[in-house]
Amino acid sequence: MIEIRVADITTLSVDAIVNAANSSLLGGGGVDGAIHRVAGPELKQYNATLGGCPTGEARISPGFGLPAAWVISTVGPVWRGGQHGEADLLAACYRNSFALALENHIASIAFPAISTGVYGYPKRAAAEVAMRAFQAYQSRFDRVVACCFSESDAEIYRTLLND
């Protein structure tokens, strides 16, 4: 089932939350900063052992201080006009995050709108990529949460879900 929520993803009680990270996996601003703040310094220490993550791939860590048991960090593409493989890379983020979740027997998972903040991916185009992935994988999970940070972002997902 796909749920569209307006929330701070760090508050969600799901098995795994997805982080829109950078390739260092060591923290940053936006949702990444929020997740590291609530998880605590153990997340950065743990991620330092992972050796980074290329754009489009994903890595899994324990949730430490978060309500979620797991954090799946994925590195979205920086928007450079749309002709540099951005859509394929963003789709890979969702696919690789879902694949890691399945390998780890995760039943409920929440995603932020990857790449739509600092990385500048247009929100509607990013939501189309996200929704296609949610629809492809939802039957293998109890809950797939599209975690929006504003009501206007949620409205974009609702429009796509009802299409």
Q: Which residues are catalytic?
A: 32
31 near ligand AR6 (CB under 6 A): yes
Smallest gap, in angstroms, from Cβ of residue 25 to ligand AR6? 9
Q: What are the structure tokens assigned to 122, written together?
A: 């247009």
Strands 70-75 and 143-148: unpaired
2 near ligand AR6 (CB under 6 A): no
| Binding-residue pattern over the window 81 to 110 for ligand AR6, x denoting contact by CB under 6 A | ------------------------------
Amino acid at 7: A
Residues in 34-63 that interact with ligand AR6 by CB under 6 A: 34
> What's 68's DSSP letter?
S
Beta carbons of 40 and 64 less than 8 angstroms apart: yes
9 near ligand AR6 (CB under 6 A): yes
20 near ligand AR6 (CB under 6 A): yes
Beta carbons of 113 and 120 less than 8 angstroms apart: no
